[in-house]
Amino acid sequence: MKARVALIAVVAFIGMVDALFLSLKRNSGPIPCHITRGCNDVLTSKYSALAGIPISWFGMAFYLTVFSLAVFASFDAGKPGGQPLRWIYMLSGLALIISGLLVGVQAFILKAFCEYCLLSAILVLTIFLLAPQPFRRTHPQ
Amino acid sequence: MPKLGKPLIVIIVAVGVAAAAAVYLSREPQPVTETSAAATLDTKGGGHFRGPENAAVTLVEFGDYQCPSCKAFAPVVQEVLNRYPKQVRLEFHHYPLISIHPNSMAASLAAEAAGEQGKYWEMHDQIFEYQERWAPSSNPEPEFLAMASRIGLNANAFMQAMRSPQLRDRIIQDVVRAREANIEAVPTFFIDGQQIHVPLSVNAFVDVIDARLKK
């Protein structure tokens, strides 16, 4: 369990770097893609912000929360599967749905992909898969 | 909360490291030198000019008419030209990214076709203004034709020019120049052969131009 929590923290840390990078780049001119084509189209589209706040800042808030929860969970070694991990599972489930929608927007509406956004979607999926399911029944030995 | 201290320290340090990493990764490339690829940007013999011929600063733009970011930059560039009516001129080059913007080549052709009748910039402005209308269309020609009639072009001559191989070659020459200059995104701007990295802000252009004018 400890290794899994540490892995979640590492993935969330990478997510923080990705989200901060996008937030900084958004205000500094055209953003080149290296793998996909259309980073600029995605990051300057009307779907790149919600109520005037760039989506990347919401991503940053998500990754910071998950990272913090994972750190608290790892220090709370006596209670594997405790409250912080339940929150990680539920938050990452919600983030996964939102990520899916954003990937859908890229694929079907904008018809352009941003590699940094795709990386974020992969990180969210990874966190969701790593997070222990709080509602799974554990069988006694 | 007996164990709040250590986790908080870990979180604060991690946020600091993440911020430093993001700043490092997002830093702008060093300005190109006289011998680099971008410095040898060859725009001679192509492009369309807006502004006085003897302007001290020529702002070169490589743009794609179907790119939303290029549309967003268009009024910013126009405002820059308005602020420096004698000192700055714009030199526009096509860089249609047809793999992601299937109508961008047709839009460039429409602008060039209008240019054959002396109304390149009028069409340039129309194409950006109505981008949302023609960009998603499977056949954007009727939209371009409507713009052509709006700015008073001869429709038959316009449609004929749209199919001109010479105009297509002119656009392809611009694409070749863009690739030779290693342009990775649109719009990309140059001043004196040197690529400039500017956000979507008139003031950012003003800072760069003022620095250039002071030289």
pLDDT per residue over A16-67, tens digit each? 999 999 988 776 666 777 787 778 778 877 788 888 888 999 999 999 999 9
Place of tokens 């003031």: B203
> Please, what are the domains in chain A?
2-130 (1.20.1440.130)
Per-residue model confidence (pLDDT) at position B192: 81
In a domain, B101, yes or no: yes
Q: Euclidean distance between the first and final Cα of chain A, in Å? A: 18
Reported as half-sphere exposure (CB side, CA atoms, 13 A), residue B67 has a value of 27
| Residue B25 backbone dihedrals phi, psi, to 5 degrees | -70, -30
Residue B92 β-bridge partners: B48, B61
Calpha distance B68→A132 (Å, rounded) = 41
ipTM for the whole complex: 0.83
Structural domain of B74: 38-214
pTM of the predicted model as reported, rounded to 2 decimal places: 0.66
| Residue B1 pLDDT > 60 | no
Closest partner CB to A30 (pick from B7, B26, B186): B186
Per-residue model confidence (pLDDT) at position B183: 85
- What is chain B's percent helix, strand, coil content, to nearest 5? 55, 10, 35
In a domain, B171, yes or no: yes
In a domain, B199, yes or no: yes
CB count, 10 Å around CB of B145?
A: 16
In a domain, B14, yes or no: no
pLDDT per residue over B129-186, tens digit each? 999 899 988 999 999 999 999 999 999 999 999 999 999 999 999 998 888 888 878 8
Q: How far is A134 from chain B (nearest CA, A)?
A: 23
Q: What is the number of structural domains in chain B?
A: 1
Tell me, what CATH number does B159's domain have?
3.40.30.10
In a domain, B98, yes or no: yes
Bridge-based pairing state of the strands B48-50 and A49-50: unpaired
* Best residue in B4, B6, B15 for a mutation probing chain A (most A CBs within 10 Å): B15
Per-residue model confidence (pLDDT) at position A141: 47
In a domain, B20, yes or no: no
Give A29's DSSP letter: S
pLDDT per residue over A76-135, tens digit each? 755 555 688 889 999 999 999 999 999 999 998 888 889 999 999 999 999 999 988 766
Q: What is the mean pLDDT of residues B12-17?
A: 93
* Best residue in A8, A10, A20 for a mutation probing chain B (most B CBs within 10 Å): A20
In a domain, B184, yes or no: yes
